[in-house]
Amino acid sequence: MTNIDLRSAKRLVEAIRLGEVSIVDVVEASLNKIKELDKDINAFITINSKKALAAAESLDTKLKRGEKVGALCGLPIAVKDVISTAGLETTCGSKILKGYIPPYDATVVAKLKEAGAVIVGKTNTDEFAMGSTTEFSAFGPTRNPVDKSRVAGGSSGGSGAAVAAGMVPLSLGSDTGGSIRCPAAFCGVVGLKPTYGSVSRYGLISYANSLEQIGPFAANVDDCALLFQCISGWDPMDSTSYRNPPKVESSKICRRVAVPKEFFGEGVEDAVARSVWRGIEALKDGGYVVEEVSLSTLDYALPAYYIIAMAEASSNLARFDGLRYGLSLKSGYRDWNTYFSKCRAKGFGPEVKRRILLGTYVLSAGYYGAYYLKAQKIRNILKTQFQQLFTKYGLIAGPTMPTTPFKIGEKIEDPLLMYMIDINTVPPNLTGHPAISVPVHKEGELPVGLQIIAPYFCEERLFQAAKIVEESLRRQ
């Protein structure tokens, strides 16, 4: 089969169920597309051809026998390489985990398999998800399918690019400070960071465990919602996942949108602002009431985010010592401290080392109060302010990224400049609220994403609003 369009998961599932195409056809189409495009884009670290085709065959047999196949029936899917896949190498984009083959599946991966999805490969990421461009991968940067001289965003750049390039209809990323929404905005696809606790993190290799969630990428809002439904829900293996999320009642304020002026602060490009306002206008046309507000604490969100994220990272990444899995050095080191120091010096890249060092520093006796505790205070204040805002408004909106995707190499030498582009994406990670990025640029322009944030567990509300924006722009 040729010319299978991999951009709509829903249509593909229908075609598979109607027998118009076989699952093997679809998976082959995906693998061919990856083969054709990925040497330029570098969205994948590992391609899972053999096992994917075997899985496709067995799913086809199941279908023929009339057995039940789940909601993602035969869909090829790409999984960010920070999510554990049993029997399939999982590197976190790092040399230190090269060769590590997890003995277990992350809960989301088990759910994908249960739903009939076929994992075609593991996608590129900044090392341990630390970065906003995927340039910090030990396996080379991912290039933006829209313009291959530009970054794809990050850290889930591989997952964003794979969907944007039409290699797969769906992919999974992880979002600690914008790592799903940033590549979604830069690559022109839809990406969701779910409510903290709505998707199991079991098997997600932690960068900053109090901030991150696994979430879906898709070429359109409906597919994004479909994938979210398949991966969300309580998991007894993750104590921070919610067993009984609070019931969300719809009310008049659901259609009231707050636009904090701080989201349009210094550094937001005109082209971005223009496209974002077009998206917000689309919401107005769709019957939403939009009001500008001010949320001054947002100015402190970025430093608070980086302090907390680095503190947690310094502890989460301590386990990579070259002793039990991944990189190991030839023996001959009699002293344990020397051995693990050499291993870590060799295995970790520059950004990971920077964050481990800073994180270690902010947790040290004497500095803990000045940094970590203060950052947690800001986090609490921000949480309260978001909650208050959500008593009057149903949604908060603004630009996902302050810029359009820039050239590869443009910011990599300046960590602070790089950190600055996360300014609008980190607040929902600090507060735990769900946030979506939906494309709002015009055909032919560089991609721009509109970020919409909702109250806890109101992902459905995000999908509704994002769909209105999506449809309105399609008509234009």
Q: Which residues pair with 174 in a beta bridge?
A: 214
Structure tokens at 95: 């040399």
Residue nearer to another protein on the CB measure, 30 or 431: 431
Of positions 83, 192, 254, 454, contacts another protein by CB under 8 A: 83
Whole-number minimum distance, CB 91 to another protein, in Å?
Answer: 10
Distance between alpha carbon 184 and the CA centroid of its chain, in Å?
8
Residue nearer to another protein on the CB measure, 143 or 379: 379
Please choose, out of 98-106, 130-138, 427-435, 444-452, the segment that lies near another protein by the rule CB under 8 A: 98-106
Q: Which residues pair with 144 in a beta bridge?
A: 147
Q: Which amino acid is at 299?
A: D
Residue nearer to another protein on the CB measure, 61 or 364: 364
- Answer yes or no whether residue 203 interacts with another protein by CB under 8 A: yes
Angle, helices 459-475/270-285, rounded to nearest 10 degrees: 100
From first CA to last CA, the distance across the chain in angstroms is 33
Of positions 42, 46, 48, 90, contacts another protein by CB under 8 A: 90
Give which of 387, 388, 399 is closest to 439, Cα–Cα. Answer: 399
Alpha-carbon gap, residue 100 to 383, rounded angstroms: 38
Residue nearer to another protein on the CB measure, 321 or 459: 321
Residues 227-286 interacting with another protein (rule: CB under 8 A): 236-240
Q: Is 232 a catalytic residue?
A: no
Size of the site for another protein (CB under 8 A): 45
Residue nearer to another protein on the CB measure, 284 or 319: 319
Burial category of 89 from C-beta neighbours within 10 Å (exposed 0-12, middle 13-18, buried 19 and up): middle
- Answer yes or no whether residue 179 interacts with another protein by CB under 8 A: no
Binding mask 335-354 for another protein (x = CB under 8 A): -xx--x--------------
Burial category of 247 from C-beta neighbours within 10 Å (exposed 0-12, middle 13-18, buried 19 and up): exposed
Please choose, out of 26-34, 144-152, 310-318, 445-453, the segment that lies near another protein by the rule CB under 8 A: 310-318
- Answer yes or no whether residue 328 interacts with another protein by CB under 8 A: no
Alpha-carbon gap, residue 441 to 164, rounded angstroms: 14
Q: Is 294 a catalytic residue?
A: no
What number of helices (H) and strands (E) belong to the chain?
A: 15, 13
Structure tokens at 46: 């590992």
| Residue of 156, 159, 171, 179 marked active site | 179
| Residue of 22, 30, 33, 80 marked active site | 80
Q: 219-238: b or e for each residue (b if 16 or more CB lie within 10 Å)? A: bbbbbbbbbbbbbbeebeeb
Residues marked active site are found at 80, 155, 179
| Residues of the shown chain interacting with another protein in the complex, contacts defined by CB under 8 A | 83-84, 90, 92, 97, 100, 102-104, 106, 201-206, 209-210, 236-240, 311-312, 314-315, 318-321, 323-325, 336-337, 340, 360, 363-365, 368-369, 372-373
